[in-house]
Chains A and B, each alone.
Chain A
Amino acid sequence: MPDLRHPLRAGPLAVALLFLATAAQAQLTVQITKGVTAPIPVAVVPFGASSGEAPPLLDVADVIQRDLERSGRFAGLPRASMLQRPTTGVGLDVAQWRLLKTDFVVIGRVVPEGARYAVQIELYNVVTGERLLGYSIPAAAGGLRLAAHRAADLVYEKILGVPGAFATRIAYVNVQGAVPARRYRLIVADADGENAQVVLESREPIMSPAWSPDGSRLAYVSFEDRLSAVYVQTLASGTRERVSGRAGVNGAPAWSPDGRRLALTLSQRDGNVDIFLLDLATRELTRVTDDPAIDTEPCWAPDGRALYFTSDRAGGPQVYRIALAPGERPRRVTFEGAYNARPRASPDGSQLAVVTLDRGAYRIAVVDLATGRSRVLSAGRLDQGPSFAPNGQTVLYAAREGGRGVLATAAVDGSVTSRISAAEGDVREPAWSPVQASP
């Protein structure tokens, strides 16, 4: 005897949240599991505020210090050890810092400017006493945290010679509840785990979040109608559009570097999947692969002229490259191991992160495209979903640990690893955003 349908259970429910609701239980905790053997000692002095003003809402120095420590390459000096707390170069006594055996000192101030702020930051080399950088970073009232991350990126780059990736966000899927009553949430959080905000909530699976190149939109796959469909959602407004909802498979969206097209996996009537390009303005579809094998998981080369993708045309999944020009044919690019899938190109285009089968375990590997050589980066058994940081230094991926789905990062040079877990439920399907533009 069928139940009367309750309005709240009218069909699978997916809520694309129009308002940015902070989801406390979806907050992430990031823990370094391996750092470099000789982290660089740095002191980040609590920032000052202009005299006469109330202290700013955010401890900017603390955010900077945590960012630097979370990179696994720095050791922050505890505040209790600081002999002085200058906020300007004038007050800085380098000799005192030498006593503390710190190599660098970061000092600064948060200065109100009308309704906004300026975060002023300076970096000093303790050994030489030299001022290495001085910047004023503008911030809206709610944007101090982003400004702090940008400051940390400046410090990181000045010292290590490589851009930082602290002013970034990650998208991921949080799954709670037991089969078959699971709840899925697509969430965006700062790279340090803070500010988790639910983008989509559904009773059906959500997969494959992909950031637009300007960081303003997410494409993703949602099964909210019990069938797969690809959506593009604008984060600021929460408005979204279904861009592909054909019968069969709609999956694996990947943004072209100019943000105008999505590479997608679509199926034919007979279920065979191939890769297509969808022009977001004209909605024109262009076929890229035409093969009875499975062809899926496209990713763009950074110059926008080729796609990498997974194909099992050789028997098992391997990664192929196809130039996006008429008459081009796919060329295989992975040669080590029986299973290589889910390619993601590094920002400089020289490497691919892939899911590989390594002695019976599914792990993340980095493939050097020039040599074809592959290096395993992770050590789990069910690792998947790699995503490069925008500075190309680190790979974010999904793993299982302690019986739960977690995220993890591994530096490409093997020196640093971290684990990222949610307060509740499993996390999976991570995607690292581009560097955030200033507000």
Chain B
Amino acid sequence: MNRILNMLVVVAFGVLLGSCAKKPTTVPPATSGEAVAGAQAGGSTSGAATADSGRATPLPGAAGGGAATTIYFDFDSSEVRPEFATAITTHARRLAADRTLRVRLEGNTDERGSAEYNVALGERRAQSVKRALLLQGATEAELATVSYGAERPAVEGHDEAAWSKNRRVEIVFLGGR
């Protein structure tokens, strides 16, 4: 019992420390407003409820577009498939229309192979989507990339059905400024 109390004290102390640490302002947690439509119906949505307030909520007006915010990739590829061209264009136009918007492109891979090499592959995928957005009118200042490699799967599972849902870039809109 003492040990549990000790751990609670430790965690509480750490929580205090954590909440005192400097963190950039983040937007409130995601709501279910984030739509994933089109050919990838049933694909992963980055709007899944988590306790993690780092997840961004789509800003008002996004629901109207309904463009896919998750881009999926073939195995060992960072090429954006043609079926996502429309979604890319929609997002790029939105960014061009409102230069205060910011987007974080989160690259991911399936779990196979080496973990840090997968981080590099995920970054490659995020950069691929970034280049596609730039070509369609977005600007550098609006786009940031991050790669989680295989560490943040959208779907549990160890077969191609799961892997295909984890090879992805999530397009996450953040609040302006």
Partner of B114, one of A2, A13, A273, A317: A317
Given contacts A11-B23, A205-B152, contact A267 B53 (CB under 8 A): no
Interface residue total, chain B, C-beta cutoff 8 A = 55
A228 touches B57 (CB 8 A): no
Contacting residues of chain A (288-332) with chain B, CB-CB under 8 angstroms: 294, 296-297, 310, 312, 317
A67 within 8 A of B: no
CB distance from A20 to the nearest CB of B (A): 9
B19 touches A204 (CB 8 A): no
B164 within 8 A of A: no
Q: Which residue of B lies closest to A206 (CB)?
A: B151
A22 touches B3 (CB 8 A): yes
The residues of B that contact A5 with a CB separation of less than 8 Å are: 28, 53
CB distance from A404 to the nearest CB of B (A): 11
Contacting residues of chain B (143-172) with chain A, CB-CB under 8 angstroms: 144-149, 151-156, 158
B17 within 8 A of A: yes
CB distance from B127 to the nearest CB of A (A): 3
CB distance from B154 to the nearest CB of A (A): 7
CB distance from A267 to the nearest CB of B (A): 6
Contacting residues of chain B (110-131) with chain A, CB-CB under 8 angstroms: 111-117, 119-121, 123-124, 126-127, 130
Bound together, the chains give a CA A205 to CA B10 distance in angstroms of 21
Bound together, the chains give a CA A382 to CA B113 distance in angstroms of 7
Q: Which residue of B lies closest to A250 (CB)?
A: B119
The residues of B that contact A247 with a CB separation of less than 8 Å are: 144
Interface string of A197-228 (1 = CB under 8 A from B): 00001011101100000000000000101111
CB distance from A302 to the nearest CB of B (A): 21
A228 touches B115 (CB 8 A): no
The residues of B that contact A11 with a CB separation of less than 8 Å are: 18-19, 21, 23, 26, 53-54
A10 touches B19 (CB 8 A): yes
The residues of B that contact A341 with a CB separation of less than 8 Å are: 113-114, 117
Residue among B117, B127, B155 with max Cβ neighbours from chain A (10 Å): B117
Q: How many A-B pairs with Cβ below 8 Å?
A: 158
Q: Which residue of A lies closest to B26 (CB)?
A: A11
B146 touches A226 (CB 8 A): yes
B7 within 8 A of A: yes
B113 touches A21 (CB 8 A): no
Contacting residues of chain A (175-217) with chain B, CB-CB under 8 angstroms: 178-181, 201, 203-205, 207-208
Given contacts A13-B18, A14-B18, A271-B123, contact A317 B54 (CB under 8 A): no
Contacting residues of chain B (20-50) with chain A, CB-CB under 8 angstroms: 21, 23-24, 26-29, 31, 48, 50
A89 within 8 A of B: no
A9 touches B51 (CB 8 A): yes
B63 within 8 A of A: no
A342 within 8 A of B: yes
B113 touches A2 (CB 8 A): no
A296 touches B117 (CB 8 A): yes
B50 touches A362 (CB 8 A): no
Given contacts A203-B52, A252-B116, A400-B158, contact A13 B123 (CB under 8 A): no
Residue among A2, A5, A7 with max Cβ neighbours from chain B (10 Å): A2
Q: Which residue of A lies closest to B127 (CB)?
A: A271
Bound together, the chains give a CA A270 to CA B119 distance in angstroms of 15
Bound together, the chains give a CA A168 to CA B104 distance in angstroms of 41
A78 within 8 A of B: no
Contacting residues of chain A (1-40) with chain B, CB-CB under 8 angstroms: 1-3, 5, 7-19, 21-22
A226 touches B153 (CB 8 A): no
A9 touches B116 (CB 8 A): no
Bound together, the chains give a CA A11 to CA B148 distance in angstroms of 18
B14 within 8 A of A: yes
Interface string of A364-388 (1 = CB under 8 A from B): 0000000000000000001011000
Partner of A208, one of B18, B52, B115: B115
Interface string of B56-73 (1 = CB under 8 A from A): 010000000000000000
B11 within 8 A of A: yes
Contacting residues of chain A (331-362) with chain B, CB-CB under 8 angstroms: 339, 341-342, 355, 357, 362
Partner of B154, one of A10, A179, A205, A265: A179
Partner of B156, one of A9, A178, A225, A312: A178
The residues of A that contact B144 with a CB separation of less than 8 Å are: 247
Q: Which residue of A lies closest to B130 (CB)?
A: A271
Q: Which residue of B lies closest to A269 (CB)?
A: B140
Bound together, the chains give a CA A1 to CA B31 distance in angstroms of 8
B51 touches A181 (CB 8 A): yes
B124 touches A294 (CB 8 A): yes
- Contacts beyond the supplied A15-B17, A226-B104: 14 A-B pairs with Cβ under 8 Å: A11-B18, A13-B18, A17-B10, A179-B155, A208-B115, A227-B146, A252-B116, A270-B127, A310-B116, A317-B114, A355-B114, A382-B111, A384-B113, A384-B114
For this complex, 22 residue pairs linking A to B, each with C-beta atoms less than 8 Å apart, are A2-B29, A2-B57, A10-B19, A21-B6, A22-B3, A179-B155, A180-B52, A181-B50, A203-B52, A208-B116, A223-B151, A226-B104, A228-B147, A248-B146, A249-B120, A271-B124, A296-B116, A297-B116, A297-B117, A384-B114, A384-B115, A385-B115
Q: Which residues of A contact B (CB under 8 A)?
A: 1-3, 5, 7-19, 21-22, 178-181, 201, 203-205, 207-208, 223, 225-228, 247-249, 251-252, 265, 267, 270-271, 273, 294, 296-297, 310, 312, 317, 339, 341-342, 355, 357, 362, 382, 384-385, 400, 429
Q: Which residues of B contact A (CB under 8 A)?
A: 3, 6-7, 10-11, 13-15, 17-19, 21, 23-24, 26-29, 31, 48, 50-54, 57, 104, 111-117, 119-121, 123-124, 126-127, 130, 144-149, 151-156, 158
